[in-house]
Structure 1
């Protein structure tokens, strides 16, 4: 498989999960065999006129396996060489296929099929609250100082070599506050209540892209309301300069001083079990396809 995914120089857990997880799901040679097939897994990388589509078009076949459409503005042309096994959510399904029949959830939910999954959900708790910034927000403020002041555990999404540690740190938490969508997603997968932290990602990606991605996933797990802790930044310049960064820190402290416990949530066991059942079926279908 020619794995098609976003590669960040600084590392980004959601994208890096592709390299770590797929060989565990399909076997150690999965990414070396069948080089005539482009494989789209985790990521919001279905984008017209992108390097991802360009890479895929060098391959005889294209497999889409839990990927997300980047935004409502994408107009991707697919032909018979594209095999859409499933998409991340209803938005992606409707945009790419014109119906709501081709989604399950984000491909990260394949973590539930790993043999060590039960050990993740049974991990002893070490932290009351853990916080996960967006990978492009890591250097915007001193998160370690903020987390220390708030008695939170900081989990960075940018360590390329510690994918499993990222998962186990989330699993060792009683609650997760996450700006990173895949931080919230992993919390949901390992059954740790989570809440979205709206800080900088929507400014970096654009509000339309950010909200599309989050709601595509949220709808796939049965949530129709986007609950969040909103810091209220209006533009990228809000985090530039010493004075502005001090103001941002004050905003973070004020918005997190007394967090409403009702903001934290978790998809239902029934929803998760239904997702797992469908993923098992898609795994078997892909194995038949490549054999």
Structure 2
């Protein structure tokens, strides 16, 4: 059995954790049913992503981009659970199968238990924001610890667990914070953030997705997102893609954003232009955070473990 996950060329911890989470949840799964593809954490129920003609075991995946594959053939699809009720409705399965995002189970791994708190408040941007934004500088200005979602998945998760509060543009930043019982505040910088998948997860644990708006922090970030920056519209008018990972990103913008040699005057000018972003992030860091109820999260995790037990009975 092979685990499927979306591999970003830039790195994204919420997807990369598939590489080791399933070895913890289903030890030995790699050695059984070599014909089966385990479709787990991620918004990957997408016709453009998953191969046809191969047996697929769906454990907690979500819908949110492109179009769904035809999942009616039980010989090819074994849907045990999906991320939430919105995905269940789209797929056409019992809403009770919209259990939880499996990423919450990371908190049960021994290596992440009992970690000491190191950061008062941290910010986890979406991976697109991390590419060309001014967020590390802004975080330093407003007193937030910056967590780069493109880093090694285990390192990113430890930093989330070791924070006392999380400001999250990354959905899995909020999911992991909630799993580790770290209060969180959701923010968004552009319409490119997918609210469907946020609400899909939020409904499983009884929280509300009402993100605070934070403007993009740089011209480069606006170009990547097709957003507005200081009155200039950078809408690239890119057509909707079946595979969101194939959206074009101008590499020259990325290089310019992370160029190591910049004059102090240029840096100061960029910081001045990022003032609205700085103020909004400062306000978000002082907003009232939320957290799912202990018993609700525990009940969802128990239901997911029951699904895992069923998989072990049927596949081993």
TM-score bracket for this pair, using the shorter chain length: 0.7 to 0.9
Corresponding residue for residue 110 of structure 1: 105
The one-character-per-residue Cα deviations of 1:252-279 (angstroms, maximum 9, x if unpaired) are: 1121333475531111001111012112
Aligned: 1:286 with 2:311: yes
Which of 211, 216, 241 lines up with 2:195 in the alignment?
Answer: 211
- Structure 1, unaligned stretches of length 5 or more? none
Corresponding residue for residue 214 of structure 2: 231
Aligned: 1:263 with 2:252: no
Larger mean Cα displacement after TM superposition, 233-242 or 166-175: 233-242
Partner of 1:62: helix, strand, or coil?
Answer: strand
Which of 61, 83, 93 lines up with 2:88 in the alignment?
Answer: 93
- Structure 2, unaligned stretches of length 5 or more? 217-221, 235-252, 254-265
Partner of 1:39: helix, strand, or coil?
Answer: strand
Corresponding residue for residue 256 of structure 2: none
The one-character-per-residue Cα deviations of 1:99-128 (angstroms, maximum 9, x if unpaired) are: 4121111011222442345x2xx3222211
Corresponding residue for residue 45 of structure 1: 44
Query: Contact between 1:13 and 1:163, CA under 8 Å: does it hold in 2?
Result: yes
Provide the C-alpha distance between the structure 2 equivalents of 1:189 and 1:90, rounded to a whole number of angstroms: 19
Corresponding residue for residue 80 of structure 1: 74
Provide the C-alpha distance between the structure 2 equivalents of 1:111 and 1:149, rounded to a whole number of angstroms: 31
Query: Contact between 1:134 and 1:179, CA under 8 Å: does it hold in 2?
Result: yes
Provide the C-alpha distance between the structure 2 equivalents of 1:110 and 1:123, rounded to a whole number of angstroms: 16
Q: What's the offset of the Cα at 1:245?
A: 5.8
TM-score, normalising length: structure 1: 0.85
Provide the C-alpha distance between the structure 1 equivalents of 2:309 and 2:80, rounded to a whole number of angstroms: 11
Pairs aligned (count): 272
Query: Contact between 2:166 and 2:174, CA under 8 Å: does it hold in 1?
Result: yes
The one-character-per-residue Cα deviations of 1:59-108 (angstroms, maximum 9, x if unpaired) are: 2x21100000125x734311112111101001001110254121111011
The structure with the larger Rg is 2
Corresponding residue for residue 68 of structure 1: 62
The one-character-per-residue Cα deviations of 1:166-193 (angstroms, maximum 9, x if unpaired) are: 1211111110011110011100000100
Provide the C-alpha distance between the structure 1 equivalents of 2:314 and 2:93, rounded to a whole number of angstroms: 24
Partner of 2:187: helix, strand, or coil?
Answer: strand
1:153-232 maps to which residues of 2 (within 5 A)? 153-159=145-151, 162-200=152-190, 202-203=191-192, 210-223=194-207, 225-232=208-215
Provide the C-alpha distance between the structure 1 equivalents of 2:83 and 2:210, rounded to a whole number of angstroms: 20
Provide the C-alpha distance between the structure 2 equivalents of 1:108 and 1:230, rounded to a whole number of angstroms: 25
TM-score, normalising length: structure 2: 0.78
1:114-125 maps to which residues of 2 (within 5 A)? 114-117=109-112, 119=113, 122-125=114-117
Provide the C-alpha distance between the structure 2 equivalents of 1:189 and 1:289, rounded to a whole number of angstroms: 28
Provide the C-alpha distance between the structure 2 equivalents of 1:58 and 1:245, rounded to a whole number of angstroms: 51
Corresponding residue for residue 23 of structure 1: 23
